[in-house]
Structure 1
Amino acid sequence: MEKLDLLSIFIIALNMSLSHCIWMCGGIVIAYSNGKIHQNSNGFYQIFCHTLYNLGRITSYMIIGGISASIGYGIAVSTGTKGFLFIAIGILLILFAFLYMFFPKAIAYIEPSLSRNSKNKLSEWFQISFKWLMTSKNLWSFYGLGILNGFLPCGMVYFFALSAALAPNVLMGMATMGAFGIATFLPMFILGFVSGKFITSSCRSFFMKLSFILMLCFGGYSIYKGILMFEGKSMHSMQHHQKKSSEEIIIMNHPKHSEDMQ
């Protein structure tokens, strides 16, 4: 994964954060802002609290990125399988882009319910952890809330985790998800100080459409890179075959070989 890929991840994440994160995860930010930070607190304290929360999210994302990259690296044992991985993930990214834009309710089916009425173990654990962190007076509980939020089932995180699976190593996988986390930092940080109404419905629609186009481009680019890997493998095999044939001709024409034949 090149620097251009990381820049693409950052731009896509920044647009998606303005159309998705604020609306889907904004409730947690508003909840801890109203419940844990007193209105009379000084500006430095508030900034520190919101920074800890967002650093917690980025920490979780980087861990997810490292795990995804490890899985992708384990699958891509050869150039051929790596090319197949790029093409497969590229197709999934494009599919996700269409779901994100036209069938947002479909994404809900791959995001386990964490509502209070849900009876699954993940939901119960989340509710207990969230309640404990929200009532904690410890300053580092903001960091814990961020980590908790980072591991929440989210279609957007799935998208970038798939992208991280294409990274050449674990560090680049972590960097991929780190770029995603940094891109969402500013919108979520600002949300901690305001109600979130600064993003109107028309603005959200614009960023959703822009995100859709960028997601399609990134998915298409992944498919293109996979095809190039397949072509590179075929070209390498052809060159190897031609080199082997040339060596055989040279051996056949070598004087010592001719004498041995006689």
Structure 2
Amino acid sequence: MLPYLVLFAAGFAGSFHCVGMCGGFACALGRDQHGSGATALRHLLYNTGRLSTYCFLGALAGAFGQVVCTSAGSFATLPLAGPVDAAQRVLAIVAGLLMIVIALQFFGLLGRLHRLTTGPGGSPFATTLGRVLKAPGPAAPLAFGVFNGFLPCPLVYAFLAQAASTAGAVSGFLTMAVFGLGTFPAMLMMGGISGVMRPLWRQRGVRIAGTFILILGLVTLGRGVLPVGFFHGDHLL
């Protein structure tokens, strides 16, 4: 339970980064002419769409990690535990290093990388999002959120790396589900109070998110380089 609480807290802190990158999309949803209830539903559908994409990507990342570990065992002779353990360690090292790099980016230490991983701006994908947003019916905000979830985002990359390191589709799914739920409060508020949150909280929230990602990255890296049992039960995170 504790690992998922940490993931939720990291998602909540990181949601202020989401406000900066995707808050404009939440504001673009605006208010529904049928009242506050319809507006709340509109933003709930949008964020549910984002969450569904994160869960899908998390399951894929976890399945990829599982395939890597399974392949390591299938190409080896007995005993299988050695190659599988080695593959899990390599996966944890790669995922941990990626999370640490992204955390450093959140602290402003890797500006060039930041430019490579920010949103697509005026790309055709962003144009497509705008067209989806203007489509009539309640399905539009849901589809808008689903597409939004595929936008390049270093925060999502960090947690996908964590999902891959779990080496399981279900655990990867749960990792991204908990992370995504952590981003819900700020993004739902963004739909109601627009730009008020961004200047007050975004910078502080991004640094807190970077701290969480750095800790998770170090723990994940530690699973790959430290002796088995160091964390009192493997796969602590």
Q: What range is the shorter-chain TM-score in?
A: 0.7 to 0.9
Q: What TM-score results when the alignment is normalised by the length of structure 1?
A: 0.76
Whether 1:124 and 2:124 are equivalent positions in the alignment is: yes
Give 5+ residue unaligned stretches, structure 2.
73-83, 230-237
* In structure 2, C-alpha distance between the alignment counterparts of 1:198 and 1:231, rounded to whole Å: 44
Range with greater deviation from structure 2 (100-109 or 187-196) = 100-109
Partner of 1:47: 40
Whether 1:92 and 2:98 are equivalent positions in the alignment is: yes
* In structure 2, C-alpha distance between the alignment counterparts of 1:32 and 1:173, rounded to whole Å: 30
* In structure 1, C-alpha distance between the alignment counterparts of 2:133 and 2:202, rounded to whole Å: 29
Partner of 1:105: 111
Structure 1 residues 83, 59: CA separation in 2 closer, same or farther (over 3 Å shift)?
A: same
Partner of 2:158: 159
Partner of 2:79: none
How do residues 1-262 of structure 1 correspond to structure 2 at under 5 angstroms?
3-18=1-16, 20-33=17-30, 37-38=32-33, 41-76=34-69, 77=72, 78-103=84-109, 105-111=111-117, 114-116=120-122, 123-127=123-127, 129-201=128-200, 203-228=201-226, 231=228
* In structure 2, C-alpha distance between the alignment counterparts of 1:163 and 1:231, rounded to whole Å: 19
- Give 1:141 shift: 0.5
Instruction: Kindly name which structure, 1 or 2, has the bigger radius of gyration based on alpha carbons.
Output: 1
Aligned partners of 2:89 and 2:223 also within 8 Å: yes
SS in 1 for 2:194: coil
* In structure 2, C-alpha distance between the alignment counterparts of 1:124 and 1:15, rounded to whole Å: 30
- Give 1:206 shift: 2.7
- Give 1:104 shift: 5.7
- Give 1:205 shift: 3.1
Q: What letter matches 1:181 in structure 2?
A: G
Aligned partners of 2:64 and 2:167 also within 8 Å: no
Q: What TM-score results when the alignment is normalised by the length of structure 2?
A: 0.83
* In structure 2, C-alpha distance between the alignment counterparts of 1:149 and 1:222, rounded to whole Å: 28
Q: What letter matches 1:17 in structure 2?
A: S
Q: Deviations over 1:15-64 (max 9, x none)?
A: 1112x111110111111215xx23xx322211111111110000000011
* In structure 2, C-alpha distance between the alignment counterparts of 1:57 and 1:68, rounded to whole Å: 16
Range with greater deviation from structure 2 (189-198 or 58-67) = 189-198
Identical positions, percent: 26
- Give 1:200 shift: 3.5
Q: What letter matches 2:204 in structure 1?
A: F
Aligned partners of 1:9 and 1:176 also within 8 Å: yes
* In structure 1, C-alpha distance between the alignment counterparts of 2:119 and 2:55, rounded to whole Å: 23
Q: How many residues align?
A: 216
Runs of at least 4 residues off by over 4 Å: none
Aligned partners of 1:9 and 1:179 also within 8 Å: yes
RMSD between superposed Cα atoms in Å: 2.0
Aligned partners of 1:133 and 1:144 also within 8 Å: yes
Aligned partners of 1:97 and 1:216 also within 8 Å: yes
Partner of 2:75: none
- Give 1:168 shift: 3.6
Structure 1 residues 114, 199: CA separation in 2 closer, same or farther (over 3 Å shift)?
A: closer
- Give 1:165 shift: 0.3
Aligned partners of 1:71 and 1:165 also within 8 Å: yes
